[in-house]
Amino acid sequence: MYSEEYERRGFPFKNFLLKLILVIIFAFLLAWLLPKFIEPSVITNNNETMVELSPLTSQIFADNLERMKEVAISYYTDERLPQEVGESDTMTLSDMIGKKLIVALIDKNNKACDVEESYVKITKLDEEYLLKVNLKDSEKEDYILVHLGCYTYCESDVCEKETTDVAIKASKPTAFVPIKSGVLDTVYVNDDNNGDDTSNNPSDGGSSTDIPDGELPNPGDGDDSKPDVPEEEKGYLYEYQKNQGASFSNWTSWSDWSKTSCATPEYNCNDKDPTCLKKVQRFNRKEQIGTYLKSYEKRRQVLRQTGSYQQKSCSKYNYVIIDNITYATTTTTTYKVVEQVITSSGSSNGGWVYNGRGSYANPPRDTTTTQYKFVGANYSYCEDTCTTLPEYYYDSYVWKGNDGISKVISTTTTPGSSSSSSSSTDSSLQVSCGEVVTKTVPVYGYITISEVATRREPLYGTVCYQSSKTRKLIDSGKTMTKWSKYNDKKLLNNGWYYTGAKKPA
């Protein structure tokens, strides 16, 4: 019974094995066929390696180019456009991202396009502008050229020229990309005969309107099927220019340093500048520029007469009041201060006797019996100039008027008397001091004076010096111009460059 049921149901392992084989075959076919629709394939055509790009790959690349083109057209308004013929402005994809004009572009491999090698460049032509949009992703690098101008149909400052076909969008053609020096130059070929001619479409790697803009296109490797001159550029001559720099004699040696005005500027210029014929260098230093009379002042107290008054006094004596104290002198000598009686240094006069000369760091103070006359200053410890006050010289004098000078209580008191007479009669006064007469009694007091010493000392200031060197202009140089064919290698390799101007041949 078991055997009959077993035979009727069959062995299930065979069905399982058959299904497994079918699954493996399907997975293999899927893995083999899927890349055919996505990945490019490498083929050989006329001994040239070609890369076949799928419509999906070309479309993603073209869309990225289109995005960069549209952003560039909207960015280059009047104030940002080049102004002179031949002048260009370049903006990398990195710049565009930094200006928040566009986000990073992703290729079909989900990798970011190169932000430095991808760029837009706009060049001023005679009557319009040429925009180059270059894109480099993880597999290829190519560019398109777009003519821009201020046309009647423009809705902004500049717009794309309608007659110029710069679109790369195409899903029907199969793109074959020759691999040359690591750069992919796309060439479109038609793969159907439905009347839709796509063989004349520009590729996403070149344009028939390309003109040189400082980054020359690849002229080809001698392949006659890819001419050096785009069809639209035939029949024109292009303007080339080359700058021939100025020529000069050798610079002279720097001259010796000579005094100059401190307003004289230094001058250094670019050796390539035709006006650069003289260079000037300068330095400044402190030095003596002359002399001047410098004054040093000290202040000290001296006795000076401050007034006088009439008073009865003993006839045999002279009286004087000094600093509110009354003094008596002999009748033959009148008390005066040194400044009033000394006419020359080192001599005695009146009651004052010369007592010698001394040097004082601090000025001395006059007293009743010793006074000082200023002579000059001692500069022996100074150098060119004194940083502190110098010492002063003074001649000193001592009062020796006959018996000298004695302090008394009043003008009716004789020298040496201990008290004044209490009698109010003339006889009693005569007894004490002899005859009493009315005299003028001088009054002396202390005042502060300034005594100034002067010396001629050096005057220092900033002195400026200059040194210069010169050369002569032999030839001022010039800009040479030539008209020649498009992509003239002989000129371009010899330092000539396009100006952007062209004319019919």
Secondary structure in 3-state letters for 429-489: HHHHHCCEEEEEEEEEEEEEEEEEEEEEEEEEEEEEEEEEEECCEEECCEEEEEEECCCCH
3-state SS class at 314: strand
- Quote the pLDDT of residue 165: 43
- Domain end, chosen from 155, 187, 214, is at 214
- Quote the pLDDT of residue 227: 45
Q: Same domain for 304 and 416?
A: yes
pTM of the prediction? 0.39
Q: Same domain for 63 and 202?
A: yes
- Quote the pLDDT of residue 180: 35
Largest CA distance in the chain: 195
The answer to whether 213 touches 487, Cβ cutoff 8 Å, is no
- Quote the pLDDT of residue 12: 64
Q: Is residue 57 part of a domain?
A: yes
Long-range contacts formed by 17-21: CB under 8 A, 24+ apart: none
Name every residue whose Cβ is closer than 8 Å to that of residue 344 and which is 6 or more positions away in sequence: none
Ranges of residues in the chain with a pLDDT under 70 are 1-12, 34-57, 163-233, 343-348, 402-403, 416-432
**Distance between start and end Cα atoms, the chain:** 105
Q: Is residue 320 part of a domain?
A: yes
- Quote the pLDDT of residue 65: 92
Backbone phi, psi, residue 69, to 5°: -60, -50
Q: Same domain for 339 and 447?
A: yes
Total Cβ atoms within 10 A of residue 374: 19
* Per-residue pLDDT reduced to its tens digit, 383-436: 888 888 898 999 999 988 766 788 888 888 877 654 444 333 333 434 467 788
Q: Same domain for 194 and 343?
A: no
Q: Is residue 332 part of a domain?
A: yes
The answer to whether 50 touches 156, Cβ cutoff 8 Å, is no
Q: Is residue 366 part of a domain?
A: yes
Whole-angstrom CA distances from 286 to 289, 376, 382 are 9, 31, 20
Q: Is residue 41 part of a domain?
A: no
The CA distance from 69 to 67, in Å, is 5
- Please give the radius of gyration of the chain, using alpha carbons only, rounded to the nearest integer: 58
The CA distance from 412 to 420, in Å, is 7
Q: Is 102 exposed, middle or buried (0-12, 13-18, 19+ CB in 10 A)?
A: middle
Length of the chain measured in residues: 505
Q: Is residue 279 part of a domain?
A: no
Total Cβ atoms within 10 A of residue 184: 21
User: HSE-up of 102 (CA within 13 Å, CB side)?
Assistant: 27
Total Cβ atoms within 10 A of residue 176: 19
Q: Is 52 exposed, middle or buried (0-12, 13-18, 19+ CB in 10 A)?
A: middle
Please state the domain count of the chain: 2
- Quote the pLDDT of residue 118: 94
305 lies in which domain range?
Answer: 293-457
Specify which residues 257 forms β-bridges with. Answer: none
Q: Same domain for 205 and 303?
A: no
Q: Same domain for 195 and 328?
A: no
The CA distance from 385 to 107, in Å, is 84
- Quote the pLDDT of residue 126: 85
Q: Choose among 188, 202, 64: nearest CA to 136.
A: 64
Q: Same domain for 180 and 313?
A: no
Whole-angstrom CA distances from 21 to 10, 13, 31, 350 are 20, 12, 16, 153
Name every residue whose Cβ is closer than 8 Å to that of residue 99 and which is 6 or more positions away in sequence: 75
- Domain end, chosen from 192, 214, 236, is at 214
Orientation angle between helical segments 55-75 and 13-38, nearest 10 degrees: 40
The answer to whether 439 touches 310, Cβ cutoff 8 Å, is yes
Tokens representing 197?
Answer: 């001619």
Q: Same domain for 178 and 312?
A: no
Total Cβ atoms within 10 A of residue 499: 16
The CA distance from 304 to 327, in Å, is 15
- Domain end, chosen from 148, 180, 214, is at 214
Tokens representing 268?
Answer: 């250094």
- Quote the pLDDT of residue 56: 61
The CA distance from 197 to 190, in Å, is 7
Q: Is residue 159 part of a domain?
A: yes
* Per-residue pLDDT reduced to its tens digit, 443-479: 999 999 999 999 999 999 999 999 999 999 888 778 8
The CA distance from 421 to 429, in Å, is 7
- Quote the pLDDT of residue 261: 92
- CA angle 500/504/505 to nearest 5° reads 110
The answer to whether 498 touches 229, Cβ cutoff 8 Å, is no
- Quote the pLDDT of residue 183: 34
Tokens representing 363?
Answer: 């000025």
Which residue type does 99 have? K
For tokens 């003289």, the residue is 278
Q: Is residue 341 part of a domain?
A: yes
Q: Is 404 exposed, middle or buried (0-12, 13-18, 19+ CB in 10 A)?
A: middle
Q: Same domain for 194 and 304?
A: no
